[in-house]
Amino acid sequence: MKDRGTHGAGPGGETARADNAAVEIETIRVWDPLLRLFHWLLAIAVVGAWGLGKFGPNVMTLHFWFGYAVLGLLAFRLIWGFVGPEHARFGNFRYGPVSIGKYVLHMVRREPSYWRGHNPLGGFFVFVLLGVLAVHAGLGLIADPEDYVNAGPLAREVSTTTSRTALAWHATLGWVVLGLVVLHVAAIGFYRKWKGEDLIRPMITGRKTVRKDP
């Protein structure tokens, strides 16, 4: 993995204070339409699957369909992470521990980071979230609650012990997913209120204020 220094940009030709020095910023298009659509559809699918799994009807047909949607979206993201535009590619936000550590040490500064794409901590979070969602949804495919109704479509392909273990882990990871979603929302609030950086609008419009490249 690469360790990179801070880079980024905001509205063309303007200057701002960052890292205790004046920097030039510009507003550019960072997030492509397919990545933005993926983001919002995944949010809907994850919330829908989680809510129906915990509070939905006893026959969880809709829960399964939302789960299938999550898996389909993750498959798209895997492909897009290699063939998509620059900031959608995994290599663009695959930071090493040194870069992540340096970013964490400075993220409490009350100023926007103006980072192009995902910052080091955000990039790490993306990998964690996508990985947990993939395992969680995958376990749902082979989980069997022994109610003869809500068994995963592939539960018959594994042993009873495996399907019961998958069910237990699927339930546990459901709470992990909830924790990650809450953490994600909290981070958005932190950036908005403390650092004065709006992370929602760029995921709607695709345009983000970042540091100018030298």
Is the residue at 37 inside a domain?
yes
Is the residue at 5 inside a domain?
no
| Among candidate residues 122, 148, 143, the one with its CA nearest the CA of residue 39 | 122
Phi, psi of 135 (to 5 degrees): -65, -45
CB atoms within 10 A of CB 46: 23
Whether the CB-CB separation of 3 and 174 falls below 8 Å is answered with no
Is the residue at 171 inside a domain?
yes
Is the residue at 104 inside a domain?
yes
pLDDT of residue 191: 96
Q: What is the block-wise mean pLDDT of the chain (214 residues), using blocks of 10 residues?
A: 44 47 85 98 98 94 97 98 97 96 94 94 97 98 92 96 97 97 97 96 96 77
pLDDT of residue 10: 38
Residue 177 belongs to what domain range? 14-211
Count how many domains the chain has. Answer: 1
In tens, the pLDDT along 46-90 reads 999 999 999 999 999 999 999 999 999 999 999 999 999 999 999
CATH number of the CATH domain containing 91: 1.20.950.20
Phi, psi of 145 (to 5 degrees): -80, 5
pLDDT of residue 1: 56
Is the residue at 2 inside a domain?
no
Is the residue at 3 inside a domain?
no
Q: Is 195 exposed, middle or buried (0-12, 13-18, 19+ CB in 10 A)?
A: middle
- In sequence order, the β-bridge partners of residue 26 are 210
Is the residue at 163 inside a domain?
yes
pLDDT of residue 19: 46
Whats the size of the chain, residue-wise?
A: 214
The order of strands in the sheet holding 21-29 is: 14-18, 21-29, 207-211
Is the residue at 30 inside a domain?
yes
